[in-house]
Amino acid sequence: MTTQPPSSAPYISACPVGCGTSLASTEIHLPEGPLRRCTSCGQLISAASESRYWETMASFNAPGFNQPAPRELERRRRVAGRRLKTISRLLGKDPADIRLVDIGCSRGQFVDFAAQAGFAAEGVEPAPDIAAAARAAGLNVHTGLLEEQRYPDAAFDAASLFEVVEHLREPLPLLQECRRILKPGGVLIISTGNAASWTVGAMGARWDYFHIEKDGGHISFFNPQSITTLATVCGFNVERIETSRVKFHEKGDVSAALYTAGKIAAELLNLPAQIAGRGHDLLAYLRRR
């Protein structure tokens, strides 16, 4: 018997959305190789190996992970408030009548914001130390993957996947499990980066979001079309897709003057990007069929 060396083959070899069409190389060159594009839905896919992927995913269980400064926490509170209002409106229910689960909830910030707004909110987080920290803070957070919780069918009115799908080699099983635990008509909200954004057009490989090292475990990059395909094959209808924000430089990559100029230009493009669906933050509200 011989021991196999760790494979350097890409962890993802086909479109994660399930298009079954070929992948084309792109001009976006990263340290692990160029991103590949699904010729059908436009999904961008990392060339990182499986071992590299798991190395970078370890950062999510680090002690100081995801402890934002007060100003950032306030921004997240406002963002969460808008999302919770939209969920309540789409369901036509008061928060007290909505049972919600945040999947990949990290320290449980969204669970906390939702509970404060009156929702019956809980979370699921695979990183054990981070999930334990959330429970120690008094939040209803369970350790493990969603599939391991063995929730009954149709247990929830709403579910959220914030910055999760870009980490998944195979998103279909998770979306199908979300569908199973949601009531018919229930809402699934997904946030991720938009690979069809003006930010990607302007920055390409310079966008930190593409870097598996800087943004641990990012291997799969969606766009409005590929999210729509994913939703459809998993039994959801798209209620709305929003995109926001544009940038041209990462802080520290260019001179302070150029960074400021780019930031002003990006501010001016925020509204047009929202209207054109070309912002780099993608938010999708799906409804279970």
Binding site for Zn ion (CB under 5 A): 15, 17, 19, 38, 40-41, 43
Residue 144, amino acid: G
Give the nearer residue to Zn ion in terms of CB position, either 40 or 140.
40
Q: Which two tokens stand for residue 249?
A: 């430089």
Q: Residue 271 CB: number of other CB atoms within 10 A? A: 12
CA-nearest of 122, 150, 146 to 134 is 122
Give the nearer residue to Zn ion in terms of CB position, either 38 or 139.
38
- Please give the helix or strand (H or E) that residue 284 lies within, else none: strand 281-288
Min separation Cβ 41 and Zn ion, Å: 3
Min separation Cβ 115 and Zn ion, Å: 37
Q: Residue 112 CB: number of other CB atoms within 10 A? A: 22
Give the nearer residue to Zn ion in terms of CB position, either 80 or 284.
284
Min separation Cβ 285 and Zn ion, Å: 21
Min separation Cβ 12 and Zn ion, Å: 11
Give the nearer residue to Zn ion in terms of CB position, either 110 or 236.
236
> For residues 165 and 191, what is the distance between their CA atoms, to the nearest angstrom?
8
> For residues 173 and 175, what is the distance between their CA atoms, to the nearest angstrom?
6
Give the nearer residue to Zn ion in terms of CB position, either 40 or 61.
40
> For residues 178 and 172, what is the distance between their CA atoms, to the nearest angstrom?
10
Q: Which two tokens stand for residue 83?
A: 């999302």
Query: How do beta strands 120-125 and 141-143 pair?
Result: parallel
Give the nearer residue to Zn ion in terms of CB position, either 8 or 39.
39
Min separation Cβ 170 and Zn ion, Å: 13
Count of CA atoms in the C-beta half-sphere (13 A) of 284: 26
| 3-class DSSP assignment, residue 271 | helix
* Size (the chain), residues: 289
Min separation Cβ 37 and Zn ion, Å: 9
